[in-house]
Structure 1
Amino acid sequence: MEADQSPERTPDGHFVVVRGRKWRATDPSIPEEPAARLRSHLMSARRAVRDALDQSDARAEAAARARVNRAKVALGERGTPWWEQSDRARRERWEGGLAELDERAPDV
């Protein structure tokens, strides 16, 4: 897959396929601006995991992994599948996750 291509999706749109492996797709109902902010939080948290591992800092690693999980839940990639949630529950999920991540990491 080239950098400017989107990954292959399953016919139902619930999963993306990367190198033959299925991963839950981001909730398509999240508007682009908040989705971009959530992805920014996710990438920042992943970098924090890497840095904590490099420094052998178990507490920082746990905190960073919690941020990764919160971002992935907000994006709909973990937790209750987004296609099984009402529109209201989906919106509450990503809005709540974004508010929490913004509060924890205002520099993103």
Structure 2
Amino acid sequence: MKARRSVGVAKRAGNAPAEHEAHAAVDRAKRALGERGPVWWDDGGPDLNRHMARTTIYADWFEALGTDAGVK
């Protein structure tokens, strides 16, 4: 979160070099946490990242959520 806060601070200050470094720090942290980079698991299931739930095998489940799910 420190890196994320640094992005905001740099943006508000109009400091492009600091903003660039803060974004790089966020990327490094996300990679260290396994949130970015190559997939480190394989459960045999289809990769549904970057797909809308309503267009996947979870369409019925998503529809049952209704508009309370925050998506209209």
| TM-score bucket (shorter structure) | 0.5 to 0.7
Q: TM-score, normalised by structure 1?
A: 0.38
Residues in 2 aligned to 1:77 and 1:66: alpha-carbon distance in whole angstroms? 14
Kindly indicate whether structure 1 or structure 2 has the higher relative contact order, using CA contacts under 8 Å at least 6 residues apart. Answer: 1
Residues in 1 aligned to 2:40 and 2:34: alpha-carbon distance in whole angstroms? 6
Aligned partner (choices 18, 21, 34) of residue 76 of structure 1: 34
The 5-angstrom pairing of residues 54-93 of structure 1 reads 54-83=12-41
The one-letter amino acid of 2:16's match is A
Residues in 2 aligned to 1:50 and 1:82: alpha-carbon distance in whole angstroms? 30
**Deviation (angstroms), 1:82:** 1.8
Runs of 4+ displaced beyond 2 Å: none
**If each structure's strand is expressed as a fraction of its own residues, which one has the higher value?**
1
Task: Name structure 1 gaps, 5 residues minimum.
Answer: 1-42, 85-108
The 5-angstrom pairing of residues 1-108 of structure 1 reads 43-83=1-41
Higher-Rg member (1/2):
2
Equivalenced residues, count:
42
In the other structure, the counterpart of 1:25 is none
The one-letter amino acid of 2:19's match is E
Q: TM-score, normalised by structure 2?
A: 0.56
Give the alignment's Cα RMSD to 1 decimal: 0.9
